[in-house]
Amino acid sequence: MAIIKLNASVYWNDNRTVWYLVSLVTQGLIFLPIPAILMSYYNAPIILMAITMTLFFANVIAGLGGLSIRTMISWFALSILVHILMLAIFIG
């Protein structure tokens, strides 16, 4: 019977995997519904959906592309700032 050794990157020791999952879950649960709420209740333009989807897929590509943790956190922080700015403009 053969024993297969896996790299450490398969396990949770790789911080890039953790940041990738945190980024996707946060954006999927919190940020993706924001444009729909703003368009429904506050008559926001549809360009907000394009901005949100662009930021979401940029984070997906950064995570799947194997970019550094600093780059993934930077994209995630940019996404947070843009969505807070969206909320401040249309609600505030």
What is the rounded distance in angstroms from the CA atom of residue 49 to the CA atom of residue 33?
9
For residue 12, the model assigns a pLDDT of: 46
Q: Percentage of residues in the chain with pLDDT exceeding 90?
A: 64
What is the rounded distance in angstroms from the CA atom of residue 51 to the CA atom of residue 13?
32
Q: Percentage of residues in the chain with pLDDT exceeding 70?
A: 85
Q: What is the model's pTM?
A: 0.80
Look at phi and psi of residue 66 and say left if phi exceeds 0, alpha if psi is from -120 to 50, else beta.
left
**pLDDT tens per residue across span 2-37:** 555 555 445 545 688 888 899 999 999 999 999 999
3-class secondary structure for the chain? CCCCCCCHHHCCCCHHHHHHHHHHHHHHHHHCHHHHHHHHHCCCCCHHHHHHHHHHHHHHHHHHCCCCHHHHHHHHHHHHHHHHHHHHHHCC
For residue 19, the model assigns a pLDDT of: 86
- Judge whether residue 73 has pLDDT over 80: yes
